[in-house]
């Protein structure tokens, strides 16, 4: 059986299904032609979307998923024990490299589960995701590492006019909340300074 290191997982532009399914990443995956773990519905506003994101992060295809857990463990395997900030940054960097940002369809809200995203990464090397799904995967991996996580929905104009969501994760030694927003690139501070309206959605209790 082929052992696949984190370096190889990050650096390969495209993983073949046979390689991606082998070694330390676990058992072979079911074909993606099976019914997908993704919720489609008409867009009815950010509260419904955020409630769905929380349910999926906590659920069988999120925090409870051994498929996601295997990748989470692989991402932090070489980090020194109890270096919690390094773990958070490793998760953020993994998601940055393995998820390609795309917009939602125009008239529906589509939210893939974290497990679905991980399966696509293992099948194709990179998965497509919007900001909801990116935040959801980061938060789920953080929960699996024992960290507190939140969704922050933000806007850059009128109060309550929300257009973006990201995850933030609590570093337990300092109590500092770390913004993990690959959509903002390397300039999360500038993005945060532009925010004029926001809400925080806790993932502390299912």
The DSSP line for 51-94 is HHHHHHHHSTTTTT-HHHHHHHHHHHTTSPTT-HHHHHHHHHHH
Which tens digits make up the pLDDT trace of 121-159?
Answer: 999 999 999 999 999 999 999 999 999 999 999 999 999
Let me know if residue 104 belongs to a domain: yes
The answer as to whether 96 is a domain residue is: yes
| Within-domain flag for 168 | no
For residue 81, give its domain range: 6-146
Residue 36 placed within a domain: yes
Residue 184 lies in a domain: no
The answer as to whether 97 is a domain residue is: yes
Q: Model's pTM, two decimal places?
A: 0.80
Out of 20-29, 82-91, 185-194, which region has the weakest mean confidence (pLDDT)?
Answer: 20-29
Pairing label, strands 108-112, 197-202: unpaired
| Total structural domains within the chain | 1
27 or 76: which leads in pLDDT: 76
Q: What is the pLDDT of residues 105-130, one digit of tens each?
A: 888 888 999 999 999 999 999 999 99
188, 178 contact by CB (below 8 A): no
């Amino acid at each position: 059986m082929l052992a696949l290191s984190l370096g190889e997982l990050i650096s390969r532009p495209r993983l073949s299904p046979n390689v991606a399914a082998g070694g330390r990443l676990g058992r072979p995956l079911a074909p993606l032609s099976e019914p997908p773990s993704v919720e489609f519905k008409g867009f009815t506003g950010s509260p419904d979307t955020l409630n769905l994101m929380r349910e999926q992060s906590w659920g069988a295809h999120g925090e409870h998923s051994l498929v996601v857990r295997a990748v989470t463990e692989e991402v932090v395997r070489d980090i020194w024990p109890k270096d919690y900030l390094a773990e958070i940054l490793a998760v953020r960097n993994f998601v940055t490299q393995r998820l390609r940002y795309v917009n939602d369809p125009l008239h529906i809200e589509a939210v893939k589960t974290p497990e679905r995203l991980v399966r696509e990464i293992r099948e194709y090397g990179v998965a497509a995701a919007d900001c909801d799904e990116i935040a959801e995967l980061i938060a789920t991996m953080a929960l699996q590492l024992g960290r507190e996580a939140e969704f922050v929905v933000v806007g850059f104009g009128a109060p309550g006019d929300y257009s973006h969501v990201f995850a933030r994760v609590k570093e337990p030694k300092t109590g500092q909340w770390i913004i993990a927003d690959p959509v903002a690139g390397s300039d999360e501070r500038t993005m945060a300074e532009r925010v004029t309206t926001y809400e925080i959605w806790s993932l502390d209790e299912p």
